[in-house]
Amino acid sequence: MRSKCPRDILSRGAFLIKAFFALWAVLLASGTGVRSILTPFLYAGLCLLMRRAEKTPVRSRSLPLIIGALLYTAAVTLAVYERAAAEFTGFLFRAGTLVILLAGTFLLSYHTLRLLTALLSDGRAERLLRGDGAQTAGPKTAFFRRHLLPVSFAVCLVCYLPWYLYSWPGIFSPDPVNQVEQVLGLVPLSNHHPIAHTVLIGLWMRIAGLFTADLTTAVGVYTFFQMTLFAFSAAFVVFTMDRVFGLRPAVCLCVLAFYALLPFMPVFSILVCKDTVFASVLMLFCCEIARFLRFGLPRFTPAGILHDAVFVLLGILVCLLRTNGWYAFWLFAVCFVFVFRRKLQRALPPVIAIFVAAALIRGPLMDAAGVIKPDTVESLHIPMQQIAQVLAYGRALPDEDRAMIEAVTDTTWVSELYVPGFADNIKELIRAGHPEVIEADKAGYLKLWIRIGLRYPGDYISAWAAQIRGVTWPDVPAEVAVIEGVYPNTIGLEYRPLIGGAVLVKLRELIMKLGGFVPLYGLLWSMGFWAWVLLFSGVLILTQGKGRRRLLLLVPAGALIATLLIATPISDDFRYAFPFITLAPFNLCTMTISLFANANLCYNEKSADSTDKIDR
């Protein structure tokens, strides 16, 4: 009998070593002590994961898995290294901590992605969501599908209405109060808060003004419109999950529960801000994208022209309702034209129409209306924070560079005002100085930023990591629904709850705290969690051999995250992530279901003739 050589024994036991380093990295990242009673159980689970991953053959492309694992490893290391190595002063221990974090996190993320790829490749996840790929033909199912849109819309409204009555006329921070002042003509019109959103508020206030002279009531009418729009958008996503993705009714109900029952959804539906309206429009926009991917670009028929018109209108609103929506559409347009490059005569006209209309509105029309545009400082959050950290930490700078900075603002206040992850302090400090100096010499200050970065790259990386921490690291307590009522103002806008009482106040407090108390459920409240769901969805789609054009449906959310990585003002403000969080059902279903790789309907046409008319 042949004896086993040491190499065979070592290769068979490699999963034990991999699990050990993965365990070590998890303990460092989570701050759990190495003597924790949970350590043996966690190690056993990691051993099972590594062993199962090693036995799973990689039938697909492994390069996307490696890239995804490397990105996640870099994000984890940036987020936790300083805390994990804080107790060590020696070089060897600090370097060892870095190596363990890098190696263990990469091994864990790569093998997890490898298992997920195997799960998607054999179709089990798709069968779980879609069954046999065809909806049942029973009358109950047909009735449910035929009324799915109005039922979903009604469910969302019923779930949101108590929050609306409790917070009437809505939740108002300083930003929407300023927009109401613009509507009333008390302050100049400004695109600092998107003028398209301000115009929308003014439209509904004027409609309400036909029936009442009370400002609070008029504003409450707008809030009701915003809540209704968000409820309809959520219902239409559920409708799309059935008509386009062909999900089981039970899975569609889970998507409906995501929008109707997660507490921050109704809170944002009545939080008067551009983010909620933008999220609503983006959800409808992605529904149109899904339809195009599933059934192809519409023909030049009345129905096809209507779809084009809806697509163009939604695209224009995406460009106008947020500045980063305008930049996100640039990336989407390139990807859209590439995916439909064989039908350029149908793909180019709507994209060009969106660009031309949005550019005209953002440029000549706003100038003609006297709308004040955002200043340059509004786009420099991360560069400002990086230079501010260099100054706050007392780094030495050449006299010429320091003189350029002092020409813009009083640097004596930087150390006191600089807060990692919060750029508003430094932004307002610059505005109180001479921001016009930057406007007059943009090239010179760009070179200054580069020079200081080359001198102190560590500070730049640290400041950037702190600024984007909310998007790249799930375990960040984001500010979710902490604002109540109406911000104090002088225009007569008042907080007048229509229902209340100590019981309701305590119930709301309890519901909002559960997101930071219950395991797994708390991840649904995490900006970073949903960002990584999107990234890993894209990675797993790339590993599959067909249907990679489905990535187009992930581009809007991915582009929003990219803008946050280069220009986020506050690291833990949940509202910046809310638009891409509302797109999570698209990300998960697009990753799991390969329906875009073929042209067959996702349900039985003979059993659903009546609903096919609705779908088309």
Dump strand ranges (E) for 503-612: none
- Interval 132-138 mean pLDDT: 51
Paired tokens of 372: 């004040």
Distance of CA 510 to the CA centre of its chain: 25
- Predicted local confidence at residue 600, as pLDDT: 38
Paired tokens of 195: 């003028």
Domain boundaries, the chain: 6-122, 139-373+481-524+567-609, 381-472
- Predicted local confidence at residue 603, as pLDDT: 34
Per the DSSP assignment, residues forming a β-bridge with 573 are 479
More confident position, 545 or 319:
319
- Predicted local confidence at residue 314, as pLDDT: 96
Among 237, 342, 125, 122, CA closest to 553: 237
Q: What is the pLDDT of residues 82-127, one digit of tens each?
A: 888 888 888 898 899 999 999 999 999 999 998 888 877 777 777 7
DSSP per-residue letters across 48-101? HHHHHHHHS---S-SHHHHHHHHHHHHHHHHHHHHHHTTT--SHHHHHHHHHHH
Q: What is the DSSP letter of 495?
A: -
Q: How confident is the model at residue 297 (pLDDT cuts 50, 70, 90)?
A: confident
Is the predicted pLDDT of residue 2 greater than 70, yes or no?
no
CA distance 575 to 568: 11
Phi and psi (nearest 5°) for 206? -70, -35
Dump strand ranges (E) for 126-203: none
pTM of the model as a whole: 0.89
Contact in structure between 226 and 270 (CB atoms under 8 Å): yes
Peptide bond into 169 cis (omega under 30): yes
As a whole-number percent, the residues of the chain with pLDDT over 90 amount to 51
Peptide bond into 174 cis (omega under 30): no
Q: What is the pLDDT of residues 15-43, one digit of tens each?
A: 889 999 999 999 998 888 888 888 999 99
For the chain, what is the mean pLDDT? 86
- Predicted local confidence at residue 337, as pLDDT: 93
Burial category of 610 from C-beta neighbours within 10 Å (exposed 0-12, middle 13-18, buried 19 and up)? exposed
CA atoms within 13 A on the CB side of 294: 21
CA distance 197 to 199: 5
CA distance 572 to 466: 10
Contact in structure between 415 and 391 (CB atoms under 8 Å): yes
Paired tokens of 196: 């398209």
Q: What is the pLDDT of residues 539-563, one digit of tens each?
A: 888 887 677 888 999 999 999 999 9
Q: How confident is the model at residue 373 (pLDDT cuts 50, 70, 90)?
A: confident
CA distance readout (Å), 411 to 56, 378, 447: 58, 19, 19
CA distance 192 to 171: 20
Contact in structure between 37 and 98 (CB atoms under 8 Å): no
CA distance 193 to 171: 16
Paired tokens of 275: 């983010």
More confident position, 89 or 142:
89
- Among 59-73, 189-203, 238-252, 259-273, where is mean pLDDT lowest? 59-73
- Predicted local confidence at residue 397, as pLDDT: 92
- Predicted local confidence at residue 63, as pLDDT: 85
Among 216, 90, 206, 298, CA closest to 489: 216
More confident position, 545 or 486:
486
- Predicted local confidence at residue 615, as pLDDT: 37
More confident position, 134 or 378:
378
Contact in structure between 558 and 538 (CB atoms under 8 Å): yes
